[in-house]
Structure 1
Amino acid sequence: MTGAMWVSLLACAGQLALAGIALARVGRSPLALPLSLLSIALSTWNFSAFGLARSGDTGWRLMGFAAALMTLPCAVHFILAFVGRRRRSARVLYGTYAVMGALALTMLIAMGVPALEERIYTFRFGLAVAVGVIPILTTGFVLLTRHLRHAVSPDERARAGLMLLGLTLLVALLLTDLAADMALPVPKLGNVGTLLGLPVMATASLRFQLFGKDARATNAAVHAVVLALVGVFAYLTLFRVFAAESGALVVGTTAITFALLAAARRGVTAFVTQRERLEQLATLGRFSAQMAHDLKNPIAALKGAAQYLKEEHARGHSWDAHGDFLDLLLEQVERLDRVAGTYQRLARVEPLRRPLDLNRLVEGVLSLQAFATPGAVELKKELAPDLPECAGDEDLLANALENLVRNAFEAMPEGGTLTVRTLRDGGAVVVEVQDTGSGMDARTRERAFDDFFTTKATGSGLGLAFVRRVAEAHGGTASLTSGEGHGTILRLRLPAAPVSQAPTSEGEAA
């Protein structure tokens, strides 16, 4: 085999391994899916280059052309996820996938339509593709460059720099092959780009923990590398045995590809199932601990009163003089009933709306937090005077506010300032919780309100998701503003209660 063929095979194996590592993180990192898709597209392109050089069948060129086109939406997807703009740019992203997917499908159809294949390899068709590709790629690289310039953390700057370098090598040099196929006088440097870009992307993924900290990352990497090497060896053997039989090559490569996908799917499914089980157990443990704490005091009071009355009964004493103990029993039973009702509403997020003074709610929550938090954090209150009431569930809103305050304290382990303020915003009332912690990067900020998303080793990922659901159940919104090195502001906005709902002074006096 020639040197170019060995380069194609090595790049194919490396991209398959990187795809395997990324697939193991799908669902936990927004970067995992686009990186795995990009790696699969690039591995397909490299293998098509090998197949073309090995067999001379022009169908491999069309397949490589289709794979190269699909690297564009995958690269754009990855860039948008990396800079935290994936959701805001969803329409552009899906449109890019649709257009490039249609063009790639045209390439595959042309494998059986010679007239269409002739039209593809023309300068006019290449110019049309370039007109659509270059502006989108340019926008993506501008976003990545801007993210690099504004990154505060040294690790984030290193990740962004490596991503910019790796994608430039992978995508820009890949375009030289497309230009050469359009009969332009450009040397083909795609193989060189994938071979050079691969270690850059792998370094960013592993050395700089692109997907976060995970003790199982090494096992996933080893599994992915072994699977990729087995696949490439199987492809190579197939070409050696059936070099002159195109039909057998197509059937064989398809079968091997499906076998690799099945093996990868099995490994990833086992990983995801284990992860989901751990998340469920962590969530159950958190709710169980909180419920046990809330039930402990009324149960202890019930037990004490019941034991006392039992002893009085054993001594033959009458209960007539102990009516207060019976009242205590009934009071604690009612308290248990309220706790159970509160947890039912917490689970379903069904607000029981009553006129509520937001300033008083903030005072109550902060009075408890002041005793449970370290003294290194300075607590400030900025409560707006004459704040209108809102119609809300006091238990649900207090729990949501406690989540926000707790997160703020945890964001400042070495001390800082926590400011809780209330204000009026048109026809709504707002409570803001501001900390002076390290802040969030763009990717964390975009997923902060997602269920089960957390950056804490012992977190369940339900805190901010619960806050968002409580706000929406009240007809309001939850939002945040954050930047690395600038702290975080979490904002809970609720509709103000109509004036007619607020109790009058006469009602209050009554």
Structure 2
Amino acid sequence: MTGGMWISLLACAGQLALAGLALVRVGKSPLALPLSLLSIALSTWNFSGFALVRADEDGWRLVGFTAGLMTVPCALHFILSFVGRRRSLAWAMYGAYALFGALALAMLVALGAPTLEAHLLTLRFGLLVSALAIPILGGGFALLGFHVLHSRHPDERARAGLVLLGLTLVVALLMTELAAELGLEVVRLGHVGTLLGLPVMATAALRFGLFGDDPGAPRLALHAAGIAGLGVLAYLAVVRLFVAQAGTLIICTTAVTFALVAATRRGVTAYVSRSERLERLATLGRFSAQMAHDLKNPIAAMKGAAQYLKEEHARGRSWDGQGEFLDLLLEQVERLDRVVDTYQRLARVEPLPKPVDLRRLVEGVLSLQVFASPGKVVIIRELAAGLPPCAGDQDLLANALENLVRNACEAMPGGGTLTVRALRDGADVAMEVEDTGEGMDARTRERAFDDFFTTKASGSGLGLAFVRRVVEAHGGEVLLTSREGRGTVVRMRLPVTDASLGGAGVGEAA
């Protein structure tokens, strides 16, 4: 085999391994799916180049074009996910998939239609692809470059730089293939580019946590590399056996690809199931700890009162003057009943709306926070006077605010300033929590309210998701603003009660 064919095979194996590593993280990281799709497309393109030289069958040129076309939307999908713009620019992403998917489908149809193939493998079609791909990829790279320049955290800046370098190597050198197809006299370096981009992307994934912190990543990388190696050996065997039978060769290589996906899927399923079990246990542990804390105080009060009355009875003293202890027992029983009822409503997020004074609610939540972080976090209250009551559930809103306050304090382990506001927001009222912590990067900010998403080693990923559900159950809205190095602001906007619409105005900050 020639050197170019070996490069194509090595790049094919490497891209398959990277795809396997990414597939394991699908569902856990927004970067996993687009990177796996991009790697599969590049692996297919590299193998089609090898097969084209080995089998000398023009059908492989169409397969290569098909894979090359799909690298454009996959690359855009990956870039938008990386810079945290996947949702805000979803229209561009899906539009690119629809456009280039249609062109790729035309390429596949041309495998059995020589007339269509003659129209597609032309200079005009190449110019059309260039005119569509260059603006899309240019916009994506501009977003990625902007992200690199504005990243404050060293690890994020390193990740972004590696991603930019890796994609630049792949895309720029792939463009030499397109230029050669258009008749320009340039050296074809596409296979070299996909090979050179591999160690860069692998470093970003394994060394700088591209998919998040994962202590099992090296083991998964070895697993993916093993599957990729077996896949390439299977491809070589198929090519050797059916080199003169183009149709059989394409069918067999497709079957091998499906077998590789199935093998990888087995590993993915086992890994995801284990992760989900750990997440459920973490969630149960956090929920149990909070419930134990809420039940412990009333139980301790009841125990103390019961022990005192028992001692009085043992001494033969009358209980006639101990009515306050009996009242205490009844109060704590009622308190336990309220706690159980609250947890039932927390699970269902079913508010019992009553007029709620946000100033009083904020003061109640913050009254204990001074003891939770003494001397480390400075708490500032900015409570607007004359706020109308909102229609809400006191317990649910208090729990939501406690979640935000706790998150803000955990974001400032070395101390900082926590500002909690109650204010008028147009026709509504709002509570706002601001911290001076490290803030969030773009990807974290985009997924902050997703269920089970957390950046904390011991977190359950339910805090902000619970806040969102509570506020939406009240007919309100949660807004999050965060920048790396500048802290985070979360605002819970809530509707006022009907009786107060157009009522009292907003006073000065207290």
Structure 1-normalised TM-score?
0.94
Task: Give 1:19's aligned amino acid.
Answer: A
- Pairing 1:170-249 to 2, within 5 Å after superposition: 170-249=170-249
Stretch deviating more after TM superposition (346-355 or 261-270): 346-355
Distance 1:441 1:53, change over 3 A: same
Conservation of the 8 A alpha-carbon contact between 1:355 and 1:502: no
User: 2:131 aligned with 1:131, yes or no?
Assistant: yes
Cα distance in 2 for partners of 1:199, 1:387 equals 58
Q: Does 1:257 align with 2:254?
A: no
Shift of 1:410: 0.8
Could you say which residue in structure 2 is the equivalent of 1:346? 346
Provide closer, same or farther for how the CA distance between residues 501 and 70 of structure 1 changes in structure 2, counting only shifts above 3 A.
closer
Does the 8 Å CA contact 1:159/1:208 hold for their aligned counterparts?
A: yes
Q: 2:402 and 2:292 mapped to 1: Cα distance?
A: 18
Partners of 1:365 and 1:332 in 2: CA distance: 20
**How far 1:172 sits from its partner (Å)?**
2.3
Q: 1:460 to 1:308 in 2, by over 3 A?
A: same
1:420/1:304 CA distance change after superposition, 3 Å: closer
Cα drift, residue 181 of structure 1? 2.8
User: Which residue of the partner structure matches residue 360 of structure 1?
Assistant: 360
Contact 2:389 2:500 in 1 (8 A): no
* Corresponding residue pairs, total: 504
What is the distance in 1 between the residues matched to 2:323 and 2:502? 38
Q: Distance in 1 between matches of 2:84 and 2:450?
A: 14
Aligned to 1:437: 437
The yes-or-no answer on 1:427 pairing with 2:433 is no
Q: How many angstroms does 1:312 deviate by?
A: 7.2
Q: Distance in 2 between matches of 1:55 and 1:236?
A: 12
Residue 331 of structure 1 pairs with residue 366 of structure 2: no
In structure 1, what is the equivalent of residue 480 of structure 2? 480
**2:55–2:244: 8 Å Cα contact kept in structure 1?**
yes
Matches of 1:399 and 1:176 in 2, distance apart?
A: 58
In structure 2, the residue matched to 1:386 is 386
* Paired amino acid for 1:440: M
SS state at 2:66 partner = helix
Residues 121 and 182, structure 1, Cα contact 8 Å, conserved in 2: no
Report the equivalent of 1:466: 466
Letter in 1 for 2:154: P
Structure 2 CA distance for aligned equivalents of residues 183 and 400 of structure 1: 63
Q: Deviations over 1:254-283 (max 9, x none)?
A: 221111111100000100000011001110
Distance (Å, rounded) in 1 between the aligned partners of 2:149 and 2:327: 67
Residue identity in the other structure for 2:175: L
Three-state SS of the structure 1 residue aligned to 2:57 is coil
Q: Structure 1 residues 155 and 312, CA, compared in 2 at 3 Å: closer, same or farther?
A: closer
Cα distance between partner residues in 1 of 2:165 and 2:326 = 75
8 Å Cα contact 2:388-2:500 kept in structure 1: no
Shift of 1:355: 1.0
Deviations 1:289-323 (A, max 9, x none): 11112122323344455566677778888766655
Distance 2:295 2:422 in 1: 32
**Structure 1 CA distance for aligned equivalents of residues 123 and 503 of structure 2:** 76
Secondary structure of the corresponding residue to residue 479 of structure 1:
strand
SS at match of 1:236: helix
> Is it true that 1:19 corresponds to 2:19 in the alignment?
yes
Mapped partners of 2:117, 2:187: distance in 1: 22
What corresponds to 2:457 in structure 1? 457
Alignment of 1:282-321 (within 5 A): 282-305=282-305
| Code of the aligned partner of 1:347 | A
Identify the range of structure 1 (175-184 vs 76-85) with the bigger mean alpha-carbon deviation: 175-184
CA distance in 1, matches of 2:374, 2:297: 25
Q: CA deviation at 1:463?
A: 0.6
TM-score (norm 2): 0.94
Distance 1:384 1:310 in 2: 50
Letter paired with 2:495: P
7-16 or 355-364, larger mean C-alpha shift: 355-364
Shift of 1:176: 2.2
1:54 corresponds to: 54
The SS at the match of 1:386 is coil
Higher mean alpha-carbon deviation, 436-445 vs 174-183, is at: 174-183
2:148 counterpart residue number = 148
Letter in 1 for 2:218: T
**Mapping 1:76-155, distance limit 5 Å:** 76-155=76-155
Q: For residue 127 of structure 1, what is the amino acid of its counterpart? A: L
Q: Does the CA-based 8 Å contact 1:69-1:100 persist in structure 2?
A: yes
State the match for 2:42 in structure 1.
42
- In the alignment, what sits opposite 1:71? 71
Per-residue CA deviation, residues 430-464 of structure 1 (Å, 9 max, x unaligned), is: 22111111111111111111111110000001111
Match of 1:281 in 2: 281
Deviations 1:166-195 (A, max 9, x none): 111112221222332344444322111111
Q: Provide the C-alpha distance between the structure 2 equivalents of 1:468 and 1:500, rounded to a whole number of angstroms.
A: 24
Amino acid at match of 1:248: T
Aligned residue in 2 for 1:508: none
CA distance in 2, matches of 1:502, 1:322: 51
Contact 1:31/1:82 (8 A) holds in 2: yes
Q: What's 1:401 paired with? A: 401
Structure 2 match to 1:415: 415
Could you tell me whether the CA contact under 8 Å between 2:358 and 2:390 is conserved in 1? yes
Paired AA for residue 50 in structure 1: F
What secondary structure, in the 3-state scheme, does the structure 2 residue paired with 1:105 have? helix
CA distance in 2, matches of 1:54, 1:501: 77
Structure 1 residue 68: Cα displacement: 0.4
Does the Cα contact within 8 Å between 1:355 and 1:501 map onto a contact in 2?
A: no
- Residue 367 of structure 2 aligns to a residue whose secondary structure is helix
How far residue 331 of structure 1 moved from its aligned partner, in angstroms, is 2.5
Change (3 A) 1:324 1:154: closer
Q: By how many angstroms is 1:498 displaced?
A: 3.0
Q: What percentage of residue pairs aligned between the two structures are identical? A: 71
CA distance in 2, matches of 1:282, 1:502: 45
- Structure 1 equivalent of residue 507 of structure 2: none
Per-residue deviation at 1:46?
Answer: 0.4
Give 1:329 shift: 3.6
Q: 1:389 touches 1:502 (CA, 8 Å); kept in 2?
A: no
Q: For residues 312 and 367 of structure 1, do their structure 2 counterparts lie closer, same or farther at Cα, with a shift above 3 Å needed?
A: closer
Consecutive unaligned residues in structure 2, runs of 5 or more: 505-510
8 A Cα contact 1:122 1:183, kept in partner? no
RMSD: 2.1
Deviation larger for 154-163 or 137-146: 154-163
Question: Paired residue for 2:33?
Answer: 33
- Does 402-411 or 173-182 show the bigger shift? 173-182
